[in-house]
Amino acid sequence: MPLIELNHVSKIFQTEEVETHVLSGVDLAIERGEYVSIAGPSGCGKSTLLSILGLLDVPTSGEYLFDGRRLDQLSLLELAQIRNQKIGFIFQSFNLIGDLSVAENVALPLLYRRVATADRDAAVAEALYRVGMGHRAKHYPSQLSGGQQQRVAVARAIVGKPPVLLADEPTGNLDSKNGAAVMALIHDLHAGGATICMVTHDPRYAEHADRTVHLFDGNLADRDGVLHGVGSAS
């Protein structure tokens, strides 16, 4: 059984005058421990697909199963618990809270879980050590470089040891050196057993994955943009 399974998933955004089909009948299965890259031109639906995978958005139609459970049959509380305990997020824009220290930013997912203070502090220290930012625990985001902020964002994503890590253009705001360092961290997490799903526009980083899913105008396609029947990938 795949860890993640999408069956004919579509996403439509509607206004009074325009109906935009962002995803069109996508079928996708991701196995436990797999490293999948989502590639395609700007506006093709990559980030929307990742948001649905991460329970940040819901499909207009179709079925999403996580670890064999149909998510449309779960309550909002159950969905929030899956999102908090099973999925880690790395965003291009870091999304750190400026008024919180590095350690406090990393601790946030554990606060929502109501993890005991001693256990939380130990987990934060371990996560910061893994990304090489333990010496910056008391600093604030404004005191860090872009590469350092992204390392903190990775620490926040992994502090709860989620089985799934979703990364949306994790190197998009970084120079080549820091980008390579973040990709090395993601590679290490995958080697440790994490399931990785990453959106990237950079073919060098897409090659790190076991498999690349190509999107074109909301449909799955091959590298040349040729559609393979609406929504078929494995």
Tens digits of per-residue pLDDT, 65-99? Answer: 999 999 988 999 999 999 989 999 988 888 899 99
Please give the pLDDT value at position 223: 44
Alpha-carbon distance of 80 to 76, in angstroms, equals 6
Nearest to 182 by CA among 217, 153, 224: 153
Ramachandran angles phi, psi of 6, nearest 5°: -110, 130
Instruction: Look at residue 173 and tell me whether its pLDDT is greater than 60.
Output: yes
**Confidence (pLDDT) at 230:** 42
* Residue of 148, 137, 78 lying closest to 107 (CA atoms): 137
User: Within 13 A of 39's CA, how many CA atoms are on the CB side?
Assistant: 20
Which is higher by pLDDT, 233 or 190?
Answer: 190
How far is the C-alpha of 222 from the C-alpha of 125, rounded, in Å?
Answer: 42
Assigned token pair, 70: 């149909």
Taking the C-alpha atoms of residue 160 and residue 164, their distance in angstroms, rounded to an integer, is 11
Q: CATH: 3.30.70.270, 3.40.50.300, 2.102.10.10, 3.20.20.70. Which one for 4-94+163-221?
A: 3.40.50.300
Domain locations in the chain as residue ranges: 4-94+163-221
| Beta strand pairing call for 35-39 and 61-66 | unpaired
Residue 229 in this model has a pLDDT that exceeds 70? no
Q: How many residues does this entry show for the chain?
A: 234
- 221 confidence band (pLDDT: 50, 70, 90): low
Instruction: Decide if 120 contacts 110 (C-beta within 8 A).
Output: yes
* d(C-alpha 44, C-alpha 32), whole Å: 26
Q: Residue 198 — very low, low, confident or very high, per pLDDT cuts 50/70/90?
A: very high
Q: Model confidence over 31-68: pLDDT tens digits?
A: 999 999 998 888 788 889 999 999 999 999 999 999 99
| pLDDT at residue number 176 | 85
State residue 180's pLDDT score. 86
Question: What percent of the chain is predicted at pLDDT more than 90?
Answer: 56
Average pLDDT over residues 114-136: 93
What is the structure's pLDDT at 215? 87
| H/E run at residue 167 | strand 164-168
